[in-house]
Structure 1
Amino acid sequence: MIYRYLTVAALARFADEGARVALVLVALDATGSALFGGVLAGAFMVPHVLAGPAVGALADRARRRAPVYALLIGGNGVAIALCGLLAGVAPHAVVLVIAVLGGCCAPLGTGGLSSLIKELFRPERRDRVYGLDVMTYNLAGICGPAVVAGVAQLAGARLATVALGAGAVTAGLLVLSLPLRRREFTGGTALTAGFGAIWRIRPLRAVTVATGLGAGAYGAFPLVTTLLAIQYHAGYAAGALLSAAAIGGLTGSLLYARHPVGARRPERTVMICLLASALPLAAVPFVPGVLPALLLFAAAGFFVGPQSAALFASRDRHAPPAVHTQVFTLGAGLKVTASALGAALAGYAAGAGPDGLLLAAAGVYAAAGALGGALLLRD
């Protein structure tokens, strides 16, 4: 069963990560317009945030969730493939609408799937499964864009989008094989109920605020690594530093899956990992050359794996059953929003240079861990 679940998660998340690159490439290839490529990718990404509460509430209310997941995850795949096939053929507005609809389906393939772990696995296995679940996010983030770029180079961007779409449709069909029981309650909860649960329940509030701030710092990484590459006079460093952080996160999630440290109070693990991530980042401005920076980025990324697994475990334990999925999809959407905001703020503060931005990011991580810890201690 664990392999079935991980296959579903990996395929769905690979399609989601790869689509961010594939849609830009297919727009450039079919229309020659970088502007349309950016708008198309944005049309796919923005609904991840806006639709999260709605699709989470839909899953929470459904008596039979497997068909809902299959329809939405598969629908996301169909939308990705259609965008690739229709770009440059159909009017731009039609392609953008399809991208928006696909993006609305996407949250059930990310946070929504993670919310199913509570039902699919026994309590003593969940911490390990959450670590492996985070691994699928890391693998998708590392491999998705790279594989898409390779396929687009060899066979064209349209084929890349079709391949991604087929993977997501396969994930949707495989969901039907997961043993999700029929539920007697239908929820009837409002779309704001997830917000209410997060605000009312102290551990949920603490981990949501803390990881949201941490995601804001992480959103600055692409700009920071680009500026560092310029500073080091090494163009490859921009991608290499991001890859080092992702590989560190993959290593951390695998280790946590084997040894889930702090599993009794996962929200504490979240705060400790945020604080620990700050230290290597703060050291980067004080070391010479690319190699030490790569090692420090990997060290910072290492703590992201356990942090994410512990975050899921905390949601698992504290989210009320009536809004369980909504808490997961809403939390994921808030992190995406915070990451985008962090990227924008980093752009405005680019004059501070890579060292200043890195110290600021490290400060945000440390503040996030400290604030989250303070929120946990409040009565």
Structure 2
Amino acid sequence: MPSYYLAATLARFADEMVAFTLVLLVLDRTGSAALAGITGAAYAFPAIITGPLLGAWLDRTPRRRSALALNQATLGVVMLSLLALVGHSAHWVTPALAAVAGATLPMVSGGFTSMLPSLFRPERLARANAFESVSFSAAAIAGPATAATVAAAFSVDAAVMVIVVAATLSILAISRLPALPPVGASGEPFLASVIGGLRHLARTPRLRASTVTTTLLMGFTGILLIALPLHMASLGMPKSAAGYLWTAVELGSVTTALVIRPRWRPEHVAMLSVAAYGLVLTTWPLAPSFAVMLVLAVVAGCAEGPTLPAMFAARQQYSPGSLQGRVSTTAASLRVGTSALGQATAGVLVPAVGTRTTLVIVGLGLLASAASAASAAIGRCTTLTPHLRR
């Protein structure tokens, strides 16, 4: 549905700009890598707590559109506040405001994605997942590139205003989405509903493997968010140029997400893609110029491309419809929270070991992540869709 993809992509575009623009704004006004890391972490960390709660509520409510719109309105207000206060107030104010915007962050990924089984027939879900991946990637392509271009051509402040405009437009698009009926059991106690989603994630080995893979991927991506802008100086480029590297990664990712339709189990696809991505990342510190690093970024994106469609497929195939909201937002909260830890870690790691060593650590860490997910897949998968049972 065009209205769905427009609303989802606009919201994700704003979110992709935030992750990069927050770093630029803090570095530009304070010069503190530690504060940049803490602010990025504060934006993402609340999702660890709110994700399962929001998912349980989404499964039980017909007001999904209101929740999605409220997330975007909160983002717009917080970004305007940060524009006024970063560098002109106590350091704790910046991460505190970022945390407010991050509290409803799982809505951007899990909240939208959980709607797919209600919007599309089962035989169309595979194609819907591919386009959902393109929505994420298109936002990830345009978000950092827009932030980098606007910051370089005008100012970081102007990039913040673009986020506010995108959030406002996404609210208008969300208002055109259809109202969907609840999918969960309304009579179930709320806390039991929350625990049920967590238990399902923990006790379904194939879903657990996919979740571990993509969660650890986001942790190391959080480190890259801080490391790449600081690495640009070694290539004779401004910090904002890192946005083009993220764009190059996503261009490669979109290509393989649309072209490649693996027939393997989704958790296997996710593990192999993340391992290949990590292997390519270990070559990034060897790049002698920014142009070479751009090429390597495209190659890395091609390796990572099948990961998102595989993640969506794992959630849908290994979870019943009544758990889609809880599984999607809880998994999203884990991803976002781990990204927060990665950014906070980078604030300490990069000054200690330098950007080149940090990039190598990220690449090797992704290889280890795939191996860890393989061990998480051990066990009997008791919750499968009827299609997979056949």
The TM-score range, normalised by the shorter chain, is 0.7 to 0.9
Q: Give the structure 1 partner of residue 319 of structure 2.
A: 319
Q: Give the structure 1 partner of residue 262 of structure 2.
A: 261
Is residue 67 of structure 1 aligned with residue 45 of structure 2?
Answer: no
Map 1:53-132 to 2 at 5 A.
Answer: 53-81=52-80, 83-84=82-83, 99-132=98-131
Shift of 1:269: 0.8
1:78 and 1:166 in contact (8 A); partners too: no
- CA distance in structure 1 between the partners assigned to 2:353 and 2:26 by the alignment: 34
Unaligned runs of 5+ in 1: none
CA offsets 1:105-128 (integer angstroms, 9 cap, x no match): 332122211221222122333233
Is residue 307 of structure 1 aligned with residue 307 of structure 2?
Answer: yes
Tell me the SS of whatever aligns to 2:181.
coil
Q: Give the structure 2 partner of residue 133 of structure 1.
A: 132
Of residues 106-115 and 34-43 in structure 1, the stretch that sits farther from structure 2 once superposed is 34-43
Identity of counterpart residues, as a percentage?
29
- CA distance in structure 1 between the partners assigned to 2:276 and 2:70 by the alignment: 40
1:130 and 1:257 in contact (8 A); partners too: no
Q: Give the structure 2 partner of residue 333 of structure 1.
A: 333
Map 1:126-275 to 2 at 5 A.
Answer: 126-148=125-147, 151=150, 160-183=159-182, 185-186=185-186, 188-190=189-191, 191-222=194-225, 225=228, 229=232, 233-236=234-237, 243-244=244-245, 246-262=247-263, 265-275=265-275
- CA distance in structure 2 between the partners assigned to 1:268 and 1:284 by the alignment: 25
1:241 and 1:294 in contact (8 A); partners too: no
1:208 and 1:331 in contact (8 A); partners too: yes
Shift of 1:189: 3.8
Of residues 198-207 and 334-343 in structure 1, the stretch that sits farther from structure 2 once superposed is 334-343
> Please, what is the CA RMSD of the aligned residues?
3.9
CA offsets 1:342-362 (integer angstroms, 9 cap, x no match): 344454376555554444333
2:148 and 2:241 in contact (8 A); partners too: no
Q: Give the structure 1 partner of residue 278 of structure 2.
A: 278
- CA distance in structure 1 between the partners assigned to 2:84 and 2:229 by the alignment: 32
TM-score (norm 1): 0.79
CA offsets 1:308-347 (integer angstroms, 9 cap, x no match): 2211221122234343222222222222332333344454
Residues 223/65 of structure 1: CA separation in 2 closer, same or farther (3 Å cut): closer
TM-score (norm 2): 0.77
- CA distance in structure 2 between the partners assigned to 1:43 and 1:82 by the alignment: 15
1:315 and 1:327 in contact (8 A); partners too: yes
1:131 and 1:253 in contact (8 A); partners too: no
Q: Which has the higher contact order (CA 8 A, sep 6+)?
A: 2
Q: Count residues with an aligned counterpart.
A: 373
Shift of 1:144: 2.5
- CA distance in structure 1 between the partners assigned to 2:275 and 2:23 by the alignment: 35
